[in-house]
């Protein structure tokens, strides 16, 4: 008798697990569909690009991204993204390090400038862009 009850409860538990797994998968897929095409745009990316434009690229002609790219050892498409994207560009640390190297500053000096300019706005805020 005890063995039959045990087997019955085990089958019920397994069935519940399968149902919960199915529901979790369904919810996850529905959530993905709702967010399809949405992208988080973090404010810090915008601030970093603004400091690059105003501090690192200061004095250069923004109409000539190729010349800026050659001076800073990066691809001109990256320069275009930094200059023209109003929401900023999620710049790789390697690229930022290269810009700082050719500017003759340390990464720490660059981030000190970001902190100086945007101190009160530095947090993890973002907006959803579709």
In CATH, what number is assigned to the domain containing residue 45? 1.10.260
pLDDT class for 20, splitting at 50, 70, 90? Answer: very low
For residues 16 and 61, state if they share a domain. Answer: no
Q: Is the pLDDT of residue 1 over 70?
A: no
Shared-domain flag, residues 116 and 56: yes
Q: Are residues 90 and 124 in the same domain?
A: yes
* 80 and 52 belong to one structural domain: yes
Q: Which of the four pLDDT bands, split at 50, 70 and 90, describes residue 112?
A: very high
The domain in which residue 20 lies consists of 2-36
Domain count for the chain: 2
**Whether residue 95 is found in the same domain as residue 112:** yes
Both tokens of 110, joined, read 């660059």
Shared domain check, 9 and 52:
no
| Least confidently predicted of 24-28, 38-42, 47-51 | 24-28
Both 102 and 73 in a single domain?
A: yes
22 and 51 both lie in a single domain: no
pTM over 0.85: no
56 with 31, same domain: the answer is no
> At residue 105, does pLDDT exceed 80?
yes
Instruction: Give residue 18's Cα distance to chain centre.
Output: 35
């Amino acid at each position: 008798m005890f063995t039959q009850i045990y087997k019955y409860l085990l089958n019920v538990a397994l069935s519940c697990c399968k149902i919960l797994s199915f529901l979790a998968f369904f919810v996850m897929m529905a959530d993905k569909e709702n967010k399809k095409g949405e992208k988080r745009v973090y404010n810090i990316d915008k601030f970093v690009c603004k400091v690059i434009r105003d501090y690192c690229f200061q004095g250069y002609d923004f109409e000539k991204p190729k010349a800026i790219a050659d001076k800073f050892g990066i691809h001109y498409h990256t320069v275009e993204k930094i200059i023209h994207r109003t929401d900023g560009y999620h710049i790789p640390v390697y690229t930022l390090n290269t810009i700082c190297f050719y500017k003759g500053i340390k990464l720490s000096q660059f981030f000190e400038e970001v902190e100086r300019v945007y101190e009160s706005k530095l947090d993890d805020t973002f907006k959803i862009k579709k």
